[in-house]
């Protein structure tokens, strides 16, 4: 939480990851985020993982620090309230992050008639409007056929991190800030469309993987846990722990080889091959089987503690394989002693380590991360303060089921 974007107000009508993650980032930089939720919760309100009482840790994680207004969008009055919340306010408002249908009552076309300088960031599956989610995009861009053990090329392995959702969300956040800057200069609003599948295609292109296949005509096969194009793989220690050792630079390579006492064996290999494994990172990859066999033998002789000490003191680049539980309990720098985390009490009744913005700013004070909102917990404030709806009218809206005030108070379970 930083106050860099203080004064900016964003309205979110979005579920799942990409949209909510976009405004989460902007919220953590100081923007005010007002979400409107369906009464009873939007479609991601029960998304796993769940807490002991059935509340979604996923929803809490992606919506912390935001305000929640619960509206019945099946009623015309509910829809009008949503439209009013999106389009109201001064020059630092009128920013809408959404994954609602493009042609519905929340379309940029109809909203911008009411507020011409509106900036709408619309995250969607495919650019043509057809439905897609992270996992149906990922299967189409080749990565599951590159993941996992060598020799199993036609056995797809799905990723477990929804990387395209997250990248679409952060691309949306960059886009929104650029559009705000542009609006400040020109007064113009606009519709930004961020299709998951284009984020994926562009990313493969940015990493050279479209060129690789377009020019060579050949797909990259599975290389197991080997890092592509240089040295890097997982190795097992004497005590059963595993490490990932990587050398993408000459410096990292020399450090790894020195830590493992492999200088003379590597020199002999270089002489045999007539190649420099130091200056040519690609040669490290081409001859990975020879190198890996040597490294494997050495690593297997050391416990993780002894190996870590050697690798660290020589300046090698490595990491230890851990489960989340191991990371939480064995490494204070991961979460417990990490200044980006704080123990926050959420509406689920659970108190747990909650991250703030992962970057730090020397010129702005970090504030503790906020809890997720109670569903509808900000309905009253937003309707009375922002839309200036009198209390009597609010009570009537509530009684008629157009809006819902807080589902429950925020109290410890």
Report the residue from 101, 104, 282, 390 that binds its own copies according to the rule CB under 8 A: 282
Q: Which is nearer to its own copies, 160 or 392 (CB)?
A: 160
Report the residue from 23, 93, 99, 252 that binds its own copies according to the rule CB under 8 A: 252
Supply 15's token pair: 């579920």
Q: Which listed range, 82-90, 164-172, 268-276, 293-301, lies at the site for its own copies (CB under 8 A)?
A: 164-172
Report the residue from 14, 39, 86, 230 that binds its own copies according to the rule CB under 8 A: 230
Q: Which listed range, 13-21, 70-78, 81-89, 393-401, lies at the site for its own copies (CB under 8 A)?
A: 13-21
Q: Is 90 in the site for its own copies (CB under 8 A)?
A: no
Q: Do the beta carbons of residue 404 and residue 376 sit within 8 Å?
A: yes
Q: Is the peptide bond before 49 cis (omega within 30 degrees of 0)?
A: yes
Report the 10 Å Cβ neighbour count for 229: 15
> What is the secondary structure of 75-142 as a DSSP string?
SHHHHHHHHHHHH-SSTT--EEEE-S-TTSTT-HHHHHHH-TT-EEEEEESSTTS----HHHHHGGGT
Q: Which is nearer to its own copies, 310 or 380 (CB)?
A: 310
Angle at 263 between CA 258 and CA 264, to 5 degrees: 155
Could you give the angle at which helices 250-259 and 304-314 cross, rounded to 10 degrees?
Answer: 140
Q: Which is nearer to its own copies, 105 or 352 (CB)?
A: 352
Report the residue from 101, 104, 129, 205 that binds its own copies according to the rule CB under 8 A: 205
Q: What is the DSSP letter of 239?
A: T
Report the residue from 167, 257, 262, 389 that binds its own copies according to the rule CB under 8 A: 167
Q: Do the beta carbons of residue 26 and residue 3 sit within 8 Å?
A: no
**Per-residue binding letters, 325-364, with its own copies (x by CB under 8 A):** xxxx--x-xxx--xxxx----x---x-xxxxxxxxxxxxx
Report the residue from 75, 84, 269, 317 that binds its own copies according to the rule CB under 8 A: 317
* Shortest Å, Cβ 67 to its own copies: 18
Q: Is 93 in the site for its own copies (CB under 8 A)?
A: no
Q: Is 138 in the site for its own copies (CB under 8 A)?
A: yes
Catalytic residues: 165
List binders of its own copies among 55-84 (CB under 8 A).
56-62
* Shortest Å, Cβ 287 to its own copies: 14
Q: Is 18 in the site for its own copies (CB under 8 A)?
A: no
Angle at 83 between CA 82 and CA 88, to 5 degrees: 105
* Shortest Å, Cβ 320 to its own copies: 6
Q: Which is nearer to its own copies, 326 or 381 (CB)?
A: 326
The sign of the torsion formed by the CA atoms of 398, 21, 104, 184 equals positive
**401: which residues sit within 8 A by CB, 6+ positions away?**
39, 72, 75
**Per-residue binding letters, 364-393, with its own copies (x by CB under 8 A):** x-----------------------------
Q: Do the beta carbons of residue 281 and residue 221 sit within 8 Å?
A: no
Q: Do the beta carbons of residue 26 and residue 8 sit within 8 Å?
A: yes
As a whole number of angstroms, the distance between CA 64 and CA 61 comes to 6
* Shortest Å, Cβ 391 to its own copies: 35
As a whole number of angstroms, the distance between CA 318 and CA 253 comes to 11
Q: Which is nearer to its own copies, 65 or 377 (CB)?
A: 65
Q: Which listed range, 52-60, 69-77, 97-105, 389-397, lies at the site for its own copies (CB under 8 A)?
A: 52-60
Report the residue from 1, 11, 70, 246 that binds its own copies according to the rule CB under 8 A: 246
Q: Is 40 in the site for its own copies (CB under 8 A)?
A: no
Supply 67's token pair: 């305000």
């Amino acid at each position: 939480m930083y106050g860099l974007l203080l004064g900016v107000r964003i309205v979110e009508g979005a579920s799942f990851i990409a949209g909510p993650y976009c405004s989460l980032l902007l919220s953590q930089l100081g923007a005010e985020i007002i979400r409107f939720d369906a009464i009873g919760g939007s479609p991601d309100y029960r998304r796993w993982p769940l807490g002991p009482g059935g509340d979604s840790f996923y929803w809490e994680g992606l919506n912390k620090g935001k305000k929640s207004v619960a509206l019945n969008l099946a009623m015309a009055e509910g829809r009008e309230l949503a439209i009013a919340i999106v389009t109201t306010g001064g020059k630092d408002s009128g920013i809408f992050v959404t994954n609602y249908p493009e042609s519905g009552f929340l379309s940029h076309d109809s909203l911008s008639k009411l507020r011409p300088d509106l900036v709408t960031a619309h995250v969607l599956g495919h650019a043509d409007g057809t439905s897609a989610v992270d996992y149906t995009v990922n299967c189409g861009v080749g990565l599951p056929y590159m993941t996992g053990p060598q020799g199993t090329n036609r056995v797809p392995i799905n990723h477990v991190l929804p990387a395209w959702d997250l990248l679409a969300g952060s691309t949306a956040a960059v886009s929104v800030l650029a559009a705000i800057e542009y609006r400040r200069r020109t007064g113009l609003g606009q519709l930004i469309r961020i299709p998951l599948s284009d984020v994926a295609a562009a990313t493969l292109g940015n990493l050279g993987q479209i060129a690789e296949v377009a020019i060579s005509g050949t797909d990259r096969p599975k290389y197991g846990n080997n890092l592509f194009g240089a040295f890097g793989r997982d190795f097992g220690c004497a005590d059963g722990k595993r490490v990932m050792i990587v050398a993408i630079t000459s410096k990292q390579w020399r450090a790894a080889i020195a830590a493992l006492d492999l200088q003379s064996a590597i020199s002999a290999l270089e002489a045999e091959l007539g190649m420099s494994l130091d200056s040519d990172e690609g040669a490290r990859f081409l001859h990975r089987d020879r190198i890996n066999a040597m490294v494997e033998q050495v690593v297997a002789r050391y416990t993780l503690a002894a190996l870590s000490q050697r690798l660290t003191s020589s300046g090698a680049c490595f990491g230890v394989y851990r489960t989340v539980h191991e990371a939480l309990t064995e490494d204070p720098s991961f979460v417990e002693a990490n200044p980006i985390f704080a123990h926050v009490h959420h509406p689920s009744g659970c108190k747990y380590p909650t991250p703030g913005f992962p970057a730090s700013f020397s010129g702005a004070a970090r504030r503790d991360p906020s809890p997720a909102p109670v569903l509808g917990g900000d309905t009253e404030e937003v309707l009375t303060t922002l839309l200036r709806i009198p209390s009597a009218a609010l009570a009537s809206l509530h009684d008629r089921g157009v809006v819902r005030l807080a589902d429950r108070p925020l109290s410890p379970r």
